[in-house]
Amino acid sequence: MSSLHPWTGEMAAYALGWSDTSGTPDSGGSEGKGVRQALAVLGAEAVGADGADAVPGAVAVEFVHTFSLLHDDIMDGDALRRQRPAVWKAYGTGPAVLAGDALLAQAMTTLAETPGRHAAAAVRCFCRTLNALVSGQAQDLRFEHRPWYGPGAVGPEQYRSMAEHKTGALLGCAVALGAVLGGAPDRTVTTLERAGRHLGLAFQAVDDILGIWGDPAVTGKPVHADLRRGKKTYPMLAALAGGGRAAHELAALLDPPQPLDHEAAAHVAALVEELGGRTATRDEARRHLDTARRALRDASLTRTAAQQLDGLFTYVLDRTR
Amino acid sequence: MSSLHPWTGEMAAYALGWSDTSGTPDSGGSEGKGVRQALAVLGAEAVGADGADAVPGAVAVEFVHTFSLLHDDIMDGDALRRQRPAVWKAYGTGPAVLAGDALLAQAMTTLAETPGRHAAAAVRCFCRTLNALVSGQAQDLRFEHRPWYGPGAVGPEQYRSMAEHKTGALLGCAVALGAVLGGAPDRTVTTLERAGRHLGLAFQAVDDILGIWGDPAVTGKPVHADLRRGKKTYPMLAALAGGGRAAHELAALLDPPQPLDHEAAAHVAALVEELGGRTATRDEARRHLDTARRALRDASLTRTAAQQLDGLFTYVLDRTR
């Protein structure tokens, strides 16, 4: 990242999990799960190209993902990210805005400067995704102002649209960029992008389950993290969507004057499970994974890469962190 | 801006001066001066193309400019922009971060989706500029933490580098994008970009003069605006760079516990003028304008557009707002 100002470079390296706030390299393993990078490389291999062709795509996707985490943490007021202070907590809000901008600029530059004749198509793919990310975050922020239940409440289908923009688009972009940079025809790119988008929706559904019922020792997140933050996630909305007295009772517990304490959160989690929110979310994840797998079969892919993609898809559903 | 979420669209329209906070169209004339759009159109005409070819460039430059104002106002804590509340004041910090991201995404998309064979070169030009903007803002933010005078003080040449990134790059980009989209050869693009960059440095120097000695009734900014905000601008740094007892006295006035009141600001303005800060800045502006004009002569441009560019250059030096 040669053209970065050293200070924004330091913040970007911190956000990426490469170093601590003093700039010292950090090998504590606080990076992400590597799903996006793997998708990009496999996207290129699946269309018969060298995985190395996808590297600018993998880099761009990782940078834009980090950009979005960084800015979203400011908007959501989330003080912790990957068990460390969020960038805005560590460096201040203004500098964190700038660090995000720098990462986004580097992401675009990486693609725009890719040698060969696929840079323009890669940039167009990237731009579609960037617009989707921003739109998904706008939807998510607006959800906060809407009631849990009754008129104006967020329904599971609206949540799905938000997740498709906020999470699905980027996983779709990762595998599509690999294919674009590998020189795949438009139809294959579109099919792979659809597979990635549904994988992203499955990924988000699993995330929502882990955010309520995940093991803190494995996820690295506080117990009942999403409940205590009052996040409107799929399990909650699915549980409430059933209606009736039990849903009404649940809704009454969800707007407490203070954040839920441990006991109240455990009670809510049990109620959501009883109302079928957990099962519905698991079904939602499985449904999207099936759609993603069907899309994979529709594309004419090289066998080994298709198998590896399938294995990655299984990991997304079965992961515990 | 069809793919924008309506809410970010409303914030973007407000930031661009197109509407008020209720979304009602606003014709109060609070938009900018139109220099960047004019540069883009003249850039295309100067290389013999139709000015209309430059429109995606003009749009992208205006959007990225508004993005940078929006995010910079958050970082600088500036509550007013063009005589209205800044976006972060009107809508909140988080939403303003998102609105800036949306504008940047739209800027990139506008160029990436430009039909014809010049989109890729335009996107590369845009990315260079975006990196420069971010780097310039990083330099500017870091200046705040440095002393006015003595060891570690910001010198006029460091200020020039910051201004070249923060202001020069975008004016260079505007005229270069026009030329790129008009199909000009690389050498002409580079020369026009240099002309625009020096025009930008002249623009910033004039801005710095107006920020201290401008007529509030004309500029629309409070009297002694930059002094009262404690901004390290060229006139201040040039005055201090002379050294000696008078500069030392000036420096002692510049770190007051409260913002300077009207009387103190008037005293500082007079002292800076006495120490040659105003003349040095006027010379700086003229020098950059001469360099810009020389670059214009070096490029082989169509006569009418070259004359119009020259007229625009003169306006930048002589403007009073």
pLDDT (tens digit per residue) in A75-108: 999 888 888 999 999 999 999 999 999 999 999 9
- Per cent of chain B over pLDDT 90 is 72
Residue B264 confidence (pLDDT) above 50:
yes
**What's the per-residue H, E or C state across chain A?**
CCCCCHHHHHHHHHHCCCECCCCCECCCCCCCCCHHHHHHHHHHHHCCCCHHHHHHHHHHHHHHHHHHHHHHHHHHCCCEECCEECHHHHHCHHHHHHHHHHHHHHHHHHHHCCCCCCHHHHHHHHHHHHHHHHHHHHHHHHHCCCCCCCCCCCCHHHHHHHHHHHHHHHHHHHHHHHHHHCCCCHHHHHHHHHHHHHHHHHHHHHHHHHHHHCCHHHHCCCCCHHHHCCCCCHHHHHHHHCCHHHHHHHHHHCCCCCCCCHHHHHHHHHHHHHCCHHHHHHHHHHHHHHHHHHHHHHCCCCHHHHHHHHHHHHHHHHCCC
Mean pLDDT of A291-299: 93
A112 and B120: CB-CB below 8 Å?
A: yes
All residues at 6 or more sequence positions from A94 whose CB lies less than 8 Å from its CB, including other chains: B74, B75, B76, B77, B141
- Which residue, chain included where needed, has tokens 């970010």? B8
What kind of architecture, by CATH, is found in domain A9-16+32-318? Orthogonal Bundle (1.10)
Report the interhelical angle of A6-15 vs A55-76 (nearest 10°). 90
Range in A193-202, B94-103, B167-176, B312-321 with the lowest mean pLDDT: B312-321
Residue B2 confidence (pLDDT) above 70:
no
Mean pLDDT of B240-262: 86
pLDDT in tens, A244-261: 898 999 999 988 777 788
Q: What chain A residue is nearest to B96 in terms of C-alpha separation?
A: A75
Specify the pairing of strand A80-81 against strand B80-81. unpaired
**Closest CA of chain B from A78, distance in Å:** 12
- Which residue, chain included where needed, has tokens 């579109």? A190
Q: Residues of B at the A interface (Cβ-Cβ below 8 Å)?
A: 3-5, 7-8, 71, 74-77, 93-95, 97-98, 100-102, 104-106, 108-109, 112-113, 119-120, 123-124, 126-128, 130-131, 134-135, 137-139, 141-142
Chain Cα centroid distance, residue A121:
23
Residue B36 confidence (pLDDT) above 80:
yes
d(CA B316, CA B67): 22
Mean pLDDT of A194-216: 94
ipTM: 0.93
User: Residue B141 is nearest to which of A94, A130, A141, comparing CB atoms?
Assistant: A94
**Closest CA of chain A from B166, distance in Å:** 13
Other Cβ atoms closer than 10 A to B85: 14
Asked whether the beta carbons of A134 and B5 are under 8 A apart, the reply is yes
The predicted structure's pLDDT at residue B114: 96
Q: What chain B residue is nearest to A124 in terms of C-alpha separation?
A: B112
Asked whether the beta carbons of A63 and A111 are under 8 A apart, the reply is no
d(CA A74, CA A96): 8
d(CA B260, CA B282): 24
B109 and A95: CB-CB below 8 Å?
A: no
Residue B177's H or E segment, with its range, is helix B169-181
B131 and A75: CB-CB below 8 Å?
A: no
Matching CATH number, B7-16+32-302, of 1.10.600.10, 2.40.50.180, 3.75.10.20, 3.40.50.2300: 1.10.600.10
Q: How many CB pairs under 8 A join A and B?
A: 128
Tell me the CB-side half-sphere exposure of residue B245, using CA atoms within 13 A: 0
- A119 interaction partners in chain B (CB closer than 8 Å): 120
Other Cβ atoms closer than 10 A to B318: 8
The predicted structure's pLDDT at residue A51: 95
d(CA A204, CA A275): 20
Asked whether the beta carbons of A63 and A110 are under 8 A apart, the reply is yes
Q: What chain B residue is nearest to A135 in terms of C-alpha separation?
A: B5
Residue B1 confidence (pLDDT) above 50:
no
- B106 interaction partners in chain A (CB closer than 8 Å): 131
- Name which of A134, A139, A158 to mutate to probe chain B: the one with the most chain B Cβ atoms within 10 A of its Cβ: A134
Residue A29 confidence (pLDDT) above 70:
no
Other Cβ atoms closer than 10 A to B77: 12
Asked whether the beta carbons of A161 and A140 are under 8 A apart, the reply is no
The predicted structure's pLDDT at residue B83: 84
Tokens of A297: 């079969």
- Per cent of chain A over pLDDT 70 is 97
d(CA A242, CA A247): 7
Residue B34's H or E segment, with its range, is none
Strand, coil or helix: B200:
helix
- Average pLDDT of chain B is 92
d(CA A17, CA A26): 7
Asked whether the beta carbons of B18 and B150 are under 8 A apart, the reply is no
pLDDT in tens, B113-165: 999 899 999 999 999 999 999 999 999 999 988 999 989 999 999 999 999 99
Residue B184's H or E segment, with its range, is none
- B10 interaction partners in chain A (CB closer than 8 Å): none
A120 and B123: CB-CB below 8 Å?
A: yes
A138 and B8: CB-CB below 8 Å?
A: yes
Range in A23-37, A58-72, A100-114 with the lowest mean pLDDT: A23-37
Q: Give the residue among B27, B86, B30, B1 at the shortest CA–CA distance from B220.
A: B30
User: Residue A98 is nearest to which of B112, B130, B137, comparing CB atoms?
Assistant: B137
User: Residue A74 is nearest to which of B94, B113, B138, comparing CB atoms?
Assistant: B94
Other Cβ atoms closer than 10 A to A124: 18
- Per cent of chain A over pLDDT 90 is 72
Tokens of A107: 């992401």
- A139 interaction partners in chain B (CB closer than 8 Å): 5
A98 and B138: CB-CB below 8 Å?
A: yes
- Name which of B3, B69, B109, B134 to mutate to probe chain A: the one with the most chain A Cβ atoms within 10 A of its Cβ: B134
- A108 interaction partners in chain B (CB closer than 8 Å): 108, 123, 127, 130
The predicted structure's pLDDT at residue A165: 97
pLDDT in tens, B186-228: 999 999 999 999 999 999 999 999 999 998 888 878 788 888 8
All residues at 6 or more sequence positions from A169 whose CB lies less than 8 Å from its CB, including other chains: A128, A129, A132, A133, A136, A197, A200
Other Cβ atoms closer than 10 A to A319: 16
Residue A171 confidence (pLDDT) above 90:
yes
Asked whether the beta carbons of A35 and A171 are under 8 A apart, the reply is yes
AA identity, residue B166: K
- Which residue, chain included where needed, has tokens 């799903």? A35
pLDDT in tens, A141-163: 999 889 999 899 999 999 999 99
- A138 interaction partners in chain B (CB closer than 8 Å): 5, 7-8, 98, 102
